[in-house]
Structure 1
């Protein structure tokens, strides 16, 4: 190699007319590899459980956010809207929120343009998980050009430098397919609906509940494995096609998989169920004090039927 050649690890995407035409004709649909059962099982789950602690935000950051969660939740919801509008893979949003929380946990201060920070996290997460990533121009347009392309590129550099390029964080979506595979081995098929459709619906509902938890600061300090297990447990209850004994068995399996107490799993499942009820009845318009008072007196007695919700 020529010693005078400049070597850089920075990835600069360049869009040409041909790639733009291809994106317009093909959209963002990508071929995905089929689920490989050989990369699942107890060994993989144990590895994820060991790794997730490395990507947890600091307790100081969690405590500060719990005092004033509105701004953080606003940024998370905006990131979710952008990811949905751009047709991103389901792994992009939770990873982008994890990057944002870890960055804020390290700096403990919002940058001048908070939406530029959220957009930079989306850009990094998309590059890491998708072969056809979201472009910087798209993110600038989503923020109504409150920041420029150059600002976003600089923010990307700041995020990567702060996190020391350690961006492959563990999220609840990393646990869901492994938990679902383990629960599937303990469950039976349902009449009237094929097993493949049932598992697809269960995974979709679990993904949605986990994404809802990423937007809700009350779940900020929870390990991703616990959020994934509680989301799947809540989805199983919400589908309403399992008996009480089957649901109790699956809850025990999930608690064992994420290495937590069954009571803790049930508590977080109730929290997710309550957060879902709040969204369905427009409870986000209430003040935090009112919502805290209602938690003690208005916990749902029966799970919401997930089939009645338009995800």
Structure 2
């Protein structure tokens, strides 16, 4: 039997889908395990005296840019945000430590999911050297200890293949599963930025993201089925109540519409960040530097939404 190499890109090594791992038993284990890594539905950042939801989102966007520029696996960013949220629920920090926390979470997540983890020196560079490698190592141990070394979190990405393989997606509808998969991955990444979605089970986010992706590519019209038919099918697969998936689906739809409106507003008005003064976070590196896309956040306390 021939051996195949599944390398797609220089930094990405993936395996072929294993039918054994897509069986019902594996899906049931994922559904049972995910409860351990979800925040309570009424969770807030009440334990934090300085850190707010808006600050979390700004650092999350910076982390997303770093993961994108470093071509990390899709799961790394979602996993890092899960670590961050669980840490913030049990340990109070100062606002000038939030970027350091996010950097440590990315380091841990990349070690768990990447074949080539992010280097500490690279992450220090992306912070514009506002943290040291020694601080990063210390916070890595701090995060691991606060999470009790339970870092093999279930993410929405883990459910995508299981769900898509069980949905009716005939070829004559001209809808390729890979296209739906890529759309769903993008939506899951955007959901990880928002603290609201940290209270949903990963399976619910995965179901809602697939639903939104299928609606976006015209699945409802091409298949002759309705949105409720799709939600009902996902309920049968996961045993999740349809109302939960529909609620998350509506939240995703609202997030996309709000994001579109914000982009339209920013393109027609003066940049609101022009008058922001530097604060606890160091200013971004110069535009002539190599990694200009992943800018260090400005003072999250002074950003108004």
TM-score range, shorter chain: 0.7 to 0.9
SS state of the match for residue 233, structure 1?
helix
The answer to whether the 8 Å contact 2:155/2:202 transfers is yes
TM-score (norm 2): 0.77
Runs (4+) off by over 6 Å: 283-286
Aligned counterpart for 2:192 among listed residues 198, 214, 231: 214
Asked if residue 169 in structure 1 is aligned to residue 153 in structure 2, the reply is yes
Could you tell me which runs of 5 or more consecutive residues in structure 2 were left unpaired when the two chains were aligned: 1-7, 267-305
Could you tell me which runs of 5 or more consecutive residues in structure 1 were left unpaired when the two chains were aligned: 1-25, 287-311
Question: Structure 1 residue 78: deviation in Å?
Answer: 1.4
Asked if residue 38 in structure 1 is aligned to residue 20 in structure 2, the reply is yes
Aligned counterpart for 2:90 among listed residues 91, 102, 106: 106
2 CA distance for matches of 1:33 and 1:177?
13
Asked if residue 140 in structure 1 is aligned to residue 118 in structure 2, the reply is no
Asked if residue 78 in structure 1 is aligned to residue 62 in structure 2, the reply is yes
Asked if residue 157 in structure 1 is aligned to residue 157 in structure 2, the reply is no
The answer to whether the 8 Å contact 1:175/1:225 transfers is yes
Aligned counterpart for 2:260 among listed residues 274, 280, 286: 280
The answer to whether the 8 Å contact 2:47/2:89 transfers is no
**Larger relative CO (CA 8 A, sep 6+): 1 or 2?**
2
Partner of 2:237: 257
Deviations 1:118-171 (A, max 9, x none): 011101100101111111111111111110111111111111111121111011
Partner of 1:245: 225
Partner of 1:54: 36
TM-score (norm 1): 0.75
Question: Structure 1 residue 49: deviation in Å?
Answer: 1.1
